[in-house]
Amino acid sequence: MLSPYLLFLGDVTELAAAKTAAGILQWRPELCIGQIRAPGGTVDLGLPEMRPAEAAKHGARTMIIGIANAGGFIPDSWLPTILVALEAGLDIAAGMHTRLVDVPQIRETASRLGRTLHDVRQPTQSFVPGSGRKRSGLRLLTVGTDCAVGKKYAALAIEKSMRARGMKADFRATGQTGIFISGRGVAVDAVVADFISGAAEWLSPANDPDHWDVIEGQGSLFHPAYAGVTLGLIHGSQPDALVICHEPVRKALVGFDHYPVPALQDCIDATVSAARLTNPVARAVGISINTSRMSEQAASEAIARLEQQTGLPCRDPIRHGMDDVVSYIRKIWR
């Protein structure tokens, strides 16, 4: 995708629904020159409000649909903005389950104008089931007690800290937002279930013995809807190290109020046990907590409590970074 980007926030009213745009801005602010909302949209990322023609004059090359709505569909209310952006000279990129090329008005307008449509959620290569064979290199996978607890942010912060120390490390994206941020990866929730482990092997191939693939996790082993993708990632990644992501104030699983968030230690034990099927020496190396709904004092108290309970370093990747977790990793893999 050509940058800079105009971020389309749609007509959503909650920041969580615009997490794709928010994630791009958080980690690649230098690529984002403006935002645009559809009628009724109230989410504001603090970027200049721009119409597509204005954004194009400021150098924008692509409008990214920065929404992650339930079902991943493109509603009719978004079409006017998308079509105007194409007319203004912008390419369009999206990470929806509904492909841009499958919407006749978008496909026909893009073809007429010679614009490019990027559907990053749709794999461009085929996969096979995982082999389970050991490969060279080191791998870290972020996992969670629930969905949407910060697995992507934890992985990005770990990669950043590793690289700052001169370590060989690459973030490996497994979701549409991560792909937009890193420019590569595979959206594993669009991969046939039998091939998820194989996709994870493809994503983190054999490498130098001291190289770290930092793999973005998805779902949770404890989520009744999304445990399958988590297990496929665990087995295909063959992680040497696991970082468990958790939100201390969350009581119930996302979208499943009748399922309580599991105890952190239960999640650690179950995840390590699952990982040891394909990597017998897999181990937990840190806790990443999401403290966005907590005060500084409450966050500090939670960190102290969880470190005492688990014996592992614990940090919020946004508030504190993940240097302490990376220091712990370096002590183990000298």
pLDDT tens, N- to C-terminus, the chain (334 residues): 889 999 999 999 988 889 899 999 999 999 999 999 999 999 999 999 999 999 999 999 999 999 987 777 899 999 999 999 999 999 999 998 889 999 999 999 999 999 999 999 888 789 999 999 999 999 999 999 999 999 999 999 999 999 999 999 999 999 999 999 998 999 998 899 999 999 999 999 999 999 999 999 999 999 999 999 999 999 999 999 999 999 999 999 988 999 999 999 999 999 999 999 999 999 999 999 999 999 999 999 999 999 999 999 999 999 999 999 999 999 999 8
Which residue type occupies 266? Answer: D
The domain covering 138-332 belongs, at the CATH homologous superfamily level, to: P-loop containing nucleotide triphosphate hydrolases (3.40.50.300)
Nearest Cα residue to 21 out of 11, 155, 32, 70? 32
User: Domain 5-119 adopts which CATH fold?
Assistant: Rossmann fold (3.40.50)
Fold matches, 5-119 and 138-332: yes
* Most distant CA atoms of the chain, gap in Å: 62
Contact predicate 29/57, CB 8 Å:
no
φ/ψ bin of 164: left (φ > 0), alpha (ψ from -120 to 50), beta (otherwise) = alpha
The span from the first CA to the last CA of the chain, in angstroms, equals: 38
Strands 256-260 and 252-253: antiparallel
312, 285 contact by CB (below 8 A): yes
- Secondary structure (DSSP) of 131-177: -----SSEEEEEEESSSSSSHHHHHHHHHHHHHHTT-EEEEE--SHH
- Eight-state DSSP code of residue 333: -
Residue type, 217: G
pTM of the predicted model as reported, rounded to 2 decimal places: 0.91
Nearby residues of 241 by Cβ (< 8 Å), 6 or more positions away: 138, 139, 140, 141, 282, 283, 284, 285, 329, 332
d(CA 136, CA 204): 10
Domain boundaries, the chain: 5-119, 138-332
